Amino acid sequence: MKFTKSLIKGKLVKRYKRFFTDIKLDNKEIIVAHCPNTGSMMGLLDEGNEVFVSKNDDPKRKLKYTLEIIKVKKNLVGVNTHFANKIAFHGLSNNLVKEVKNTNNIKPEVFFDKETRFDFLVEKDNQKTFVEVKNVTLSRKDKLAEFPDAVTSRGSKHLKTLIEATKKGYKTYLLFLVQIQGVTDFKIAKDIDKEYYENYKLAKKAGVKFLAYRCKISSKEIKIEKKIKIIND
């Protein structure tokens, strides 16, 4: 996924009310940028962290700037959760996810039942596969990415529904989209959300497949780069 315009560099001042960040641009101007990430953003919000923001001059927008990338310990982290599915779609469409490639059709946002829809329904020959995407931005140890960064009841619900889809004959994947440079491994943060970890184990036992793919991140584009190892306790 390529950014349509060049990103603007600055320094993080603070995040507040979940959706707002104060950014000091290189020209010393302080701007307010929309924060398109409702998670805790644990480990990302230290004052002075280098950031990249996009600018949109649409007069209908309340905030012209959007926070896109934060640099933490020399590693770029993509924080715009709205882009996760776009990055995943590009990866699926271009055979960057080797477990789900050479597909006939990829449908986004498909309902499985009245209450739940998955990010993608992938069709290949007579096989239908659901792919759910989770954006990953947490890294508390060097080279290690983790999910979730806060308790996620919605995430647990998706795991339970993936189990139901598996029972009905669908192939099912949960793709952890790791928007963190430099990491080599991934694990479930069970100390943050034990229920999610237990549901992860149940889903794995039921036949749901779990994948973790790291992204290549720059101020020009973000795209899937390579598969990384999932560490199972």
Cβ proximity of 172 and 209 under 8 Å: yes
> Residue 115: its pLDDT value, please?
87
Q: In the structure encoding, which two tokens stand for residue 151, read together?
A: 């308790």
Query: Domain spanning 8-73 has what CATH number?
Result: 2.40.50.580
Report CA torsion sign: 34, 222, 148, 117.
positive
CB atoms closer than 10 angstroms to residue 175? 26
Averaged over 3-16, what is the pLDDT?
Answer: 95
| pLDDT range class, residue 232, cuts 50, 70, 90 | confident
pLDDT tens string 119-161: 999 999 889 999 999 999 999 999 999 999 999 999 999 999 9
CA distance to 7, 90, 136, 155, 192, per residue, from 181 (Å): 18, 18, 11, 24, 22
| pLDDT range class, residue 200, cuts 50, 70, 90 | very high
> Residue 233: its pLDDT value, please?
62
CB atoms closer than 10 angstroms to residue 201? 15
What's phi and psi for 208, nearest 5 deg?
-70, 135
pTM: 0.95
> Residue 114: its pLDDT value, please?
85
Query: Cis peptide before 148, with omega less than 30 degrees from 0?
Result: yes
Cβ proximity of 150 and 134 under 8 Å: no
List where CATH 2.40.50.580 sits in the chain: 8-73
Fold designation for 81-230: Trna Endonuclease; Chain: A, domain 1 (3.40.1350)
pLDDT tens string 69-110: 999 989 999 999 999 999 999 999 999 999 999 888 999 999
Q: In the structure encoding, which two tokens stand for residue 80, read together?
A: 């715009």
List where CATH 3.40.1350.60 sits in the chain: 81-230
